[in-house]
Structure 1
Amino acid sequence: MNNQATLELDMDYFVEEFSHCFTGECRVKMLPLLYKISQIITDSANLANALSIILGIMQQHLKMERGIVTLYDMPAENIFIHDSFGLTEEEQKRGVYTLGEGITGKVVETGKAIIARRVQDHPDFSDRTEAQRSSKAKSAFFCVPIMRARKVLGTIAAERVYMNQRLLKQDVELLTMIATMIAPVVELYLIENIDKVRLENENRRLKHALKERFKPTNIIGNSKPMQEVYELIHKVASTKATVLILGESGVGKELVANAIHYNSPNAEAPFITSNCAALPENLAESELFGHEKGSFTGALSMHKGCFEQADGGTIFLDEVGELSLTVQAKLLRVLQNRTFERVGGSKPVKIDVRIIAATNRNLAEMVEQGTFREDLYYRLHVFPITVPPLRERGSDVIALADHFVSTFSEENAKSIKRISTPALNMLMSYHWPGNVRELENVMERAVILSDDDVVHSYNLPPSLQTSKESGTAFGLTLEDKVRAVEYEMIVEALKNTNGHMGEAAEELGLTRRMLGVRMERYGISYKSFRGTQNSDD
Structure 2
Amino acid sequence: MTTITDDKRLQPYLGTLQKIVSDMGPQRPFQSTLKSLLRTLAENHDFQRPHIVIFDPETRTLKLSLSQTPTKADHVEYEPGVGVTGQVFSTGQPVIVPRIKDHPAFLNKAFGRSDEEQETLAFICVPVLGPADEPRQGREVIGTLSVDTPSVPMPQLESHCRFLEVVAGMIANHASYLQEEMARQKHLMTQGLIVGDSNDIGFTPSNVVAASKAMRLVLNQAAQVGPSRATALLRGESGTGKELLAEAIHQASPRREMPLIKLNCAALPSELVESELFGYQKGAFTGAVHTKKGLFELANKGTLFLDEVGELSPNAQAKVLRAIQEQEIQRLGSEQTITVDVRLICATHQPLEELVERGLFREDLYYRINVFPIFIPPLRERREDILPLAEHFLRIYSEEYSRSIKRISTPAIDLLTQYHWPGNIRELKNCIERAVLVCDEQVIRTYHLPPSLQTAESTATDTNLSFCEAVAKFEQELLVDALKKARGNMLQAARDLRVSYRIVNYKVKKYGIDAKKFAVAKARGMK
Number of residue-to-residue matches in the alignment: 316
* SS at 1:416 equivalent: coil
Residues 354 and 506 of structure 1: CA distance in aligned 2, closer, same or farther (over 3 Å): closer
The separation in 2 between residues aligned to 1:445 and 1:432, in whole angstroms, is: 16
- Other-structure match for 2:217: 228
More deviation, 509-518/257-266:
509-518
* SS at 1:249 equivalent: coil
Q: For 1:430, give the aligned amino acid.
A: Y
- Other-structure match for 2:361: 372
Q: For 2:354, give the aligned amino acid.
A: E
- Other-structure match for 2:303: 314
1:517 Cα deviation from its structure 2 partner: 9.3
Q: Tell me the alpha carbon deviations over residues 290-317 of structure 1, each in whole angstroms, 9 at most, x when there is no partner.
A: 1111111000111111111101111000
* SS at 1:458 equivalent: helix
- Other-structure match for 2:54: none
Residues 225 and 311 of structure 1: CA distance in aligned 2, closer, same or farther (over 3 Å): same
- Other-structure match for 2:423: 434
1:358 aligns with 2:358: no
Answer yes or no: is the 8 Å Cα contact 1:502–1:512 preserved in 2.
Answer: no
- Other-structure match for 2:286: 297
Structure 2 residues not aligned, in runs of 5+: 1-202, 521-527
Residues 267 and 495 of structure 1: CA distance in aligned 2, closer, same or farther (over 3 Å): closer
* SS at 2:292 equivalent: coil
The separation in 2 between residues aligned to 1:474 and 1:499, in whole angstroms, is: 35
Residues 298 and 216 of structure 1: CA distance in aligned 2, closer, same or farther (over 3 Å): same
Residues 532 and 286 of structure 1: CA distance in aligned 2, closer, same or farther (over 3 Å): closer
Matches within 5 A, 1:16-95: none
Match of 1:527 among 498, 508, 514: 514
- Other-structure match for 1:29: none
- Other-structure match for 2:387: 398
1:479 Cα deviation from its structure 2 partner: 11
Match of 1:340 among 316, 321, 329: 329
Q: Which has the higher helix share?
A: 1
- Other-structure match for 2:46: none
Q: For 1:302, give the aligned amino acid.
A: T
Residues 532 and 277 of structure 1: CA distance in aligned 2, closer, same or farther (over 3 Å): closer
The separation in 2 between residues aligned to 1:328 and 1:481, in whole angstroms, is: 59
Residues 337 and 480 of structure 1: CA distance in aligned 2, closer, same or farther (over 3 Å): farther
- Other-structure match for 2:232: 243
Residues 263 and 478 of structure 1: CA distance in aligned 2, closer, same or farther (over 3 Å): farther
- Other-structure match for 1:413: 402
The separation in 1 between residues aligned to 2:519 and 2:301, in whole angstroms, is: 60
The separation in 2 between residues aligned to 1:344 and 1:464, in whole angstroms, is: 53
Residues 215 and 271 of structure 1: CA distance in aligned 2, closer, same or farther (over 3 Å): farther
1:444 Cα deviation from its structure 2 partner: 1.0
Residues 489 and 368 of structure 1: CA distance in aligned 2, closer, same or farther (over 3 Å): same
Residues 532 and 330 of structure 1: CA distance in aligned 2, closer, same or farther (over 3 Å): closer
Answer yes or no: is the 8 Å Cα contact 1:505–1:515 preserved in 2.
Answer: no
The separation in 1 between residues aligned to 2:216 and 2:414, in whole angstroms, is: 24
Answer yes or no: is the 8 Å Cα contact 2:238–2:424 preserved in 1.
Answer: yes
- Other-structure match for 1:257: 246
TM-score computed with the length of structure 2 as normaliser = 0.54
Cα RMSD (Å): 3.4
- Other-structure match for 1:276: 265
Matches within 5 A, 1:436-455: 436-455=425-444
1:512 Cα deviation from its structure 2 partner: 8.2
Q: For 2:514, give the aligned amino acid.
A: K
The separation in 2 between residues aligned to 1:355 and 1:370, in whole angstroms, is: 23
Residues 273 and 215 of structure 1: CA distance in aligned 2, closer, same or farther (over 3 Å): farther
1:440 Cα deviation from its structure 2 partner: 1.0
Q: Tell me the alpha carbon deviations over residues 116-165 of structure 1, each in whole angstroms, 9 at most, x when there is no partner.
A: xxxxxxxxxxxxxxxxxxxxxxxxxxxxxxxxxxxxxxxxxxxxxxxxxx
The separation in 1 between residues aligned to 2:404 and 2:504, in whole angstroms, is: 33
1:279 Cα deviation from its structure 2 partner: 1.3
Residues 468 and 446 of structure 1: CA distance in aligned 2, closer, same or farther (over 3 Å): same
Structure 1 residues not aligned, in runs of 5+: 1-213
1:437 Cα deviation from its structure 2 partner: 1.1
Q: For 1:368, give the aligned amino acid.
A: E
The separation in 2 between residues aligned to 1:262 and 1:305, in whole angstroms, is: 23
Q: For 1:352, give the aligned amino acid.
A: D
1:282 Cα deviation from its structure 2 partner: 1.6
- Other-structure match for 2:181: none
* SS at 1:433 equivalent: coil
* SS at 2:403 equivalent: coil
Answer yes or no: is the 8 Å Cα contact 1:426–1:464 preserved in 2.
Answer: yes
1:319 Cα deviation from its structure 2 partner: 0.8
The separation in 2 between residues aligned to 1:474 and 1:293, in whole angstroms, is: 69
The separation in 2 between residues aligned to 1:402 and 1:441, in whole angstroms, is: 13
- Other-structure match for 1:44: none
Structure having greater relative contact order (Cα 8 Å, sep ≥ 6): 2
The separation in 2 between residues aligned to 1:259 and 1:439, in whole angstroms, is: 21
Q: Tell me the alpha carbon deviations over residues 442-489 of structure 1, each in whole angstroms, 9 at most, x when there is no partner.
A: 1111111111221111111122223564466599x9999878645522
Q: Tell me the alpha carbon deviations over residues 211-259 of structure 1, each in whole angstroms, 9 at most, x when there is no partner.
A: xxx9536521121011111111111111101110111111111111111
The separation in 2 between residues aligned to 1:295 and 1:480, in whole angstroms, is: 73
1:267 aligns with 2:256: yes
* SS at 1:346 equivalent: coil
- Other-structure match for 2:96: none
The separation in 1 between residues aligned to 2:246 and 2:467, in whole angstroms, is: 46
* SS at 1:525 equivalent: coil
The separation in 1 between residues aligned to 2:463 and 2:344, in whole angstroms, is: 48
The separation in 1 between residues aligned to 2:476 and 2:407, in whole angstroms, is: 18
